[in-house]
């Protein structure tokens, strides 16, 4: 019997300090990537209007022609690998658009677009823990905050610079150390919120750190200083803009670190995790709660939970967002008629059970999880019968006859 080895692709991200020559080379590469991406997008848009088909191969051939022109001869000064990769990314964007998973691709802005470049194995050299990119004579001065997997060699390297001016390198490697955890019989329901970031069906409540609120005064001060600067490309305005970016980076780093610790703990301690399938994109349209919802980062929490569960052999179940987890009594199943957000504790009219709103919701999610896992469909709202008893109505999958 052959044993199938399971290897997970994992990205390891590090800070690095480029020399002046390396920073200039990378900045030049970022600009060329943006130029090629916009040219290819314009060409594909024109072809789209003429009802012609242009794919990655056609844009790659166009790139060869562009390099031979006098106007775009500067594209030859940078490595061709990240230029080809940006064309592949454009192809992926169009594939997602045609699959109705994303909007039509947009042009990259010099000020607002992400500054990054992706190198495949032909565009870098990694030997003895030293990474050297194409068109560079010296290796990058990387701060090795954690070691790479033993014997691992990166298959893809992505270099980026954030709005705060920090440089990062991300290495995609095969990580054999990620193995499924021993199976357990524990399951937990998780209700997300704003007063408490998470409420578990066990009754535990995890406080909302509110990272943005903690740095709100510092952020407002930096934004006021930026608003006073004359608009344009002046050095003083650039410094003020970077101060604002540093505050945002501090908030994002702390938020991401907290979510990593929290999701890792949930995945390690539970075999099954039941959450609610929330549409955060629609929820942030509520201008009263949009800032708090964005600070809680529920979408990031779910994405981390799902990929870590896939790594370690756990299961994440998402219950339909219309399931009345807060209004239903977890003791007898009776559905309350009204449950405004201001009500945090309520008493069931049928059985007299006293419920904490969030704990009750987490318990109902945990109870609904197995039904969702079996049928593959979300649990829809319950409707009360004239006698006051609730009846579960389940929506079948669209693929079922």
Residue (of 25, 189, 209, 49) closest to 119 by Cα position: 25
Q: What is the pTM of this model?
A: 0.83
What is the edge-to-edge ordering of all strands in the sheet holding 115-120?
115-120, 156-161, 167-175, 8-16, 142-143
Q: Are 355 and 191 in contact (CB under 8 A)?
A: no
pLDDT at 373: 61
Listed as ranges, residues in the chain with pLDDT below 70 are: 1-6, 373-401
pLDDT at 176: 85
pLDDT at 386: 36
pLDDT at 1: 37
Please give the positions annotated as active site.
Answer: 191, 276, 358
- Using CA atoms, how far residue 121 sits from 52, 82, 86, 133, 171, in Å, is 33, 11, 15, 10, 11
């Amino acid at each position: 019997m052959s044993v199938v080895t399971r290897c997970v692709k994992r990205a390891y991200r590090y800070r690095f300090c480029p020399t002046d020559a390396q920073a200039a080379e990378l900045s030049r590469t970022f600009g060329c990537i943006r130029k090629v991406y916009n040219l290819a997008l314009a060409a594909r848009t024109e072809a789209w209007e003429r009802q012609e088909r242009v794919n990655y191969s056609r844009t790659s051939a166009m790139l060869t022609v562009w390099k031979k022109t006098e106007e775009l001869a500067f594209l030859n000064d940078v490595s061709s690998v990240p230029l080809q990769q940006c064309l592949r990314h454009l192809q992926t964007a169009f594939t997602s658009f045609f699959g109705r998973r994303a909007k039509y691709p947009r042009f990259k802005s010099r000020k607002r677009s992400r500054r990054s470049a992706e190198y495949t194995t032909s565009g870098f050299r990694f030997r003895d823990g030293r990474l050297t990119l194409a068109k560079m004579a010296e290796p990058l001065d990387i701060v090795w905050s954690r070691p790479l997997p033993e014997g691992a060699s990166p298959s893809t390297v992505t270099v980026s610079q954030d709005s705060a001016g920090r440089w990062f390198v991300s290495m995609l490697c095969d990580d054999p150390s990620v193995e499924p955890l021993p199976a357990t019989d524990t399951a937990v329901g998780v209700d997300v919120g704003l007063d408490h970031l998470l409420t578990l069906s066990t009754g535990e409540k995890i406080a909302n750190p509110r990272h943005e609120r903690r740095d709100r005064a510092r952020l407002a001060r930096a934004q006021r200083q930026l608003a006073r600067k004359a608009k344009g490309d002046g050095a003083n305005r650039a410094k003020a803009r970077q101060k604002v970016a540093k505050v945002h980076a501090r908030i994002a780093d702390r938020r991401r670190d907290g979510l990593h610790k929290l999701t890792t703990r949930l995945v390690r301690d539970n075999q099954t995790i039941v959450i609610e399938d929330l549409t955060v994109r629609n929820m942030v349209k509520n201008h009263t709660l949009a800032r708090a919802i964005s600070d809680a980062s529920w979408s990031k929490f779910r994405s981390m939970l799902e990929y870590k569960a896939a790594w370690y052999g756990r299961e994440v179940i998402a219950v339909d967002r219309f399931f009345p987890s807060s209004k239903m009594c977890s003791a007898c199943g009776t559905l309350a008629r009204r449950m405004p957000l201001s009500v945090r504790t309520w008493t069931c009219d049928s059985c007299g059970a006293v419920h904490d709103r969030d704990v009750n919701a987490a318990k109902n999610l945990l109870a609904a999880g197995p039904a969702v896992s079996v049928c593959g469909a979300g649990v829809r709202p319950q409707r009360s019968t004239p006698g006051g008893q609730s009846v579960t109505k389940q929506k079948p999958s669209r693929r079922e006859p």
